[in-house]
């Protein structure tokens, strides 16, 4: 590759189709069982080969990142050995602290960029896990089951590929730590088995109630999504973003138009599952 050749990657939005919190571990983290899925849209990373690493952030939610040089894009670059630097511009389209794994998705995009140019080291999964629990799954951005803190990945059926999805956020930041701290500690059972659709339908998100306590607007979003033709609507991760899955794009687009008319202040993203 030459310095002039640009590399572009989408940092695909991550959603948890189901999220079961089993227990609090002695290390302070929580034992999880989750079904990760990814939307075919998100932040956009553009890069050129450079004499050293650089990161610039633009886009609607760029101001949500306190220090662009200390975000997960910069940390991912530091984590990967390379012969040349990358000058990266991050277009921040996903809201921050929103349950979409935005920073982790950005880091996953960096891993894919480096893979295109230099390849990844054999221990890339361990390097990714050190950056955050969601980063390993975001590197491949495929539907998978996550266990442990979310870093132990197991294959899942890809039967939900191309499913129309609508993401909705009330434009409220919600930090992960306080939501987990507000979890009541009750183990409500294991993640279901079966196809990804079965797991999604029969699963749950154990962080919904504590998240609503901290951010009541989540209940408004869930109520609005339940009023459409979605076959599943649920909060993603620790919130505040919620998602709805549809049988066809017309139903999804009709729901998006209705919500834009009724809640012009909410953030919406329509896409399909990868």
Active-site positions read 14, 134
Which tokens is 237 given?
């991760």
- Which own/partner pairs from 159-162 qualify as long-range (CB within 8 Å, at least 24 positions apart)? 159/195, 159/196, 159/197, 160/17, 160/37, 160/196, 160/197, 160/200, 160/245, 160/273, 161/273, 161/274, 162/272, 162/273
Residue with tokens 């008319």: 261
Separation between Cα atoms, residue 258 and residue 264, nearest integer Å: 10
* Bond prior to 128 in cis (omega within 30° of 0): no
């Amino acid at each position: 590759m030459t310095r002039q050749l640009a590399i572009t990657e989408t940092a695909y939005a991550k959603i948890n189709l189901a999220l079961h919190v089993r227990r609090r571990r002695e290390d302070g983290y929580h034992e999880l069982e989750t079904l990760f899925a990814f939307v075919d849209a998100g932040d956009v990373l553009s890069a050129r080969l450079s004499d050293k690493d650089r990161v610039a952030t633009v886009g609607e939610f760029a101001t949500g990142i306190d220090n662009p040089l200390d975000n997960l894009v910069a940390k991912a670059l530091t984590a990967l050995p390379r012969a040349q630097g990358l000058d990266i511009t991050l277009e921040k389209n996903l809201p921050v602290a929103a349950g979409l794994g935005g920073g982790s998705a950005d880091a996953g995009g960096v891993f894919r960029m480096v893979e295109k140019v230099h390849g990844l080291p054999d221990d890339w999964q361990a390097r990714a896990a050190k950056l955050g629990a969601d980063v390993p799954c975001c590197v491949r951005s495929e539907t998978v089951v996550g266990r442990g803190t979310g870093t132990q990945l197991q294959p899942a059926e890809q039967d939900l590929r191309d499913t129309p999805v609508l993401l909705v956020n009330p434009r409220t930041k919600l930090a992960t730590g306080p939501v987990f701290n507000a979890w009541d500690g009750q183990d409500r059972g294991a993640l279901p088995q079966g196809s990804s659709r079965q797991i999604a339908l029969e699963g749950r998100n154990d962080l919904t109630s504590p998240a609503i306590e901290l951010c009541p607007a989540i209940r408004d979003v869930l109520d609005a999504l339940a009023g459409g033709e979605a076959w599943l609507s649920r909060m993603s991760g620790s919130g505040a973003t919620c998602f709805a899955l549809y049988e066809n794009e017309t139903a999804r687009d009709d729901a998006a138009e209705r919500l834009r008319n009724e809640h012009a202040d909410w953030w919406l993203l329509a896409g399909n599952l990868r």
